[in-house]
Structure 1
Amino acid sequence: MLTLRRSIAALSAAVLTPWTAHAASSADYRLEALARGDCEQTVKTLQAGLDAKDPEALYSAGRLYDEGACVKQDTATAAQLWLQAAKAGHQAARLAVAVKVGLGEGVDQDYALAGSLLRGGELPVKVSGEVNDYTLGYAFTALRTMQHDFQYPSALADQRVIGSAEIRFATKDSAFEFGTFRRSANSDQPPVGTRVDRARTPMAQAFEVAARSALSRMKKPDPAQLSAAQVSERLAFGPNESDLKLPNASGIDMNVLRAGGLRLQ
């Protein structure tokens, strides 16, 4: 498997098939559409998208390989697929591969490269002042890994509260602040007669656990390369359920599908 740096050079030099040269719509390759079928149909549909180099198909195929759904789990392949989709302008793929690079999952770990990938489009985070690629990559990886490691607090299990909070991350000392928690419109509202959302405390406590977990498994940054900046992002919190739901149809041999996988070009 080529390293990510070599792959970037190779992809930049390649002459790619026009993205519009396929019969199906990109919407057909979205996970929401694929989840309505079984694994056999999912693999077949995505294969057509990959052959056409459709960016949505590249992103969705990367999700399958990253999750190990319908194909054998392979984070390196997921990263390469997301990189190709990112080069075609797919925003979600660009963010996903930046996190992989920041964590060093399936690719060489590199905070500076993660940050440079984020600059390929509109920044998904707010930055106070100037920030170099290394600092940006480190902060973004930390924020998204914290959200990934978040475990929904059992105290809110009955209410199933969902909402978001602005997380502010101070890069020099790797300190975070859990901002005001806001419930989503379809969430149960706080009890009548109080303006204090009782869900905030257990959410903040659960996030603190997730933050410690995330930082402990990330590569410690080089202080000499870190700029003193505050990077913030509004992150969503809710029941920790997978958004990748691909049912296994009766009679499908999952082992065969995982062994065969997808033909990658």
Structure 2
Amino acid sequence: MRALTTAFLMLALLGAAHQAAAGTRSGALAVDAIRVSIAAQDCRQAVDRLKSGLKNEYPEVFLLAGSMYENGICVRRDWDRAVTFYVQAHDAGEKDGAARIAAGYADPANGADVAAALWWAMKTPPFRSGACGMPKEATADPDRFVAELKTWPQARLAACNYVAGVLSTIAAEVKYPDQAAAHAIGGDVKLRFLPGIPRIDLQRGESREYEMVGWVMADTLRDRKTRRMANGFEAELSRVANRALQRYPHPGGIPADTLIETTFTFGIQYQMR
């Protein structure tokens, strides 16, 4: 059984930051401020800043609020409340919202809800085909979706919940490596997931150099040619993949030859405003 999908992770760099859309730039700054407070272990300030960002309805803050409530960071852990914020983030266009919801519902720590996990996983690129696929009409109709799931054997439900959890965790948590972003480097990494074993193999593909904006030092131009820069994408995916495999108990019974391949493309888009 072989499933092939393609996922894209894009980093948008604005050509003129001061002209960026207010929601995007202000939301990012609000998130940075909250994280600074968390790092300083000043939870009172972090919560105050969180409330301010939520009041302004920044999508990025909705996503961070979900993570804080899911993990109990400076607030009491509350999965149901985390879902509310993740849904708001998703509805506002935050692509990681659906993946975080799917990953959370697949996690036994939250009282695994297979139907909810698969419903939200279907909205993420790595999970749109293969043995866990659904008729297109069912993915837009919750009642039909649940009816389809009721025809699945328990082993298939357990296997797909596991796959949804692992792939959604990776999709939600993988980040653009800081050094690669600073040096305007992009690249591809093929992820091969063998859930029956379970094991995740990574293969680095081609790398790309993008135009660098502003003042550029000679050392920066030299460093962007090194293998270390291109390896950053593989290292980031490896870190997140290992965490994803550790997060979910293996259900057993998945054929050893089951293979899911996903290509993560790290790229930079300059948006001039």
- TM-score normalised by the chain length of structure 1: 0.50
Are 1:43 and 2:45 matched, yes or no?
no
Q: How far did 1:181 drift? A: 4.0
Are 1:32 and 2:28 matched, yes or no?
yes
Distance 1:183 1:202 in 2: 11
Superposed CA offset, 1:131-170 (max 9, x none): 24745543343245468599x9xxx9xx9x8754121212
Distance 1:35 1:207 in 2: 23
**Structure 1 residue ranges without an equivalent (≥5):** 1-24, 192-196, 237-265
The residue aligned with 2:13 is none
The residue aligned with 2:198 is 174
Distance 1:103 1:55 in 2: 24
Q: Describe the SS at the equivalent of 1:72.
A: coil
Task: Give the share of equivalent positions with the same residue, in percent.
Answer: 17
Distance 1:226 1:125 in 2: 20
CA 1:184–1:115: 2 relative to 1, 3 Å: farther
* Structure 1 residues 87-236: aligned runs within 5 Å: 91-105=95-109, 107-119=110-122, 121=123, 123-125=124-126, 129-132=130-133, 134=157, 135-143=159-167, 145=169, 148=173, 163-183=187-207, 185=209, 188-190=223-225, 197=227, 211-223=241-253, 228-234=258-264
Superposed CA offset, 1:56-110 (max 9, x none): 65434324434666x42525232342145446775321111111122334x2124
Superposed CA offset, 1:11-43 (max 9, x none): xxxxxxxxxxxxxx9827964031465747633
Distance 2:243 2:60 in 1: 31
Q: Describe the SS at the equivalent of 2:209.
A: coil
Q: Describe the SS at the equivalent of 1:125.
A: helix
Q: Judge conservation of contact 2:189–2:264 (CA < 8 Å) in 1.
A: yes
Distance 1:198 1:171 in 2: 29
Q: Describe the SS at the equivalent of 2:197.
A: coil
CA 1:126–1:72: 2 relative to 1, 3 Å: closer
Task: Give the total of aligned pairs.
Answer: 195
Distance 2:239 2:24 in 1: 38
**Structure 2 residue ranges without an equivalent (≥5):** 1-20, 35-45, 135-156, 211-220, 267-273
Distance 1:35 1:141 in 2: 25
Over aligned residues, Cα RMSD in angstroms?
4.8
Distance 1:91 1:201 in 2: 25
Distance 1:35 1:209 in 2: 23
The answer to which structure has the higher helix fraction is 2
CA 1:206–1:46: 2 relative to 1, 3 Å: closer
Q: Judge conservation of contact 1:167–1:178 (CA < 8 Å) in 2.
A: yes
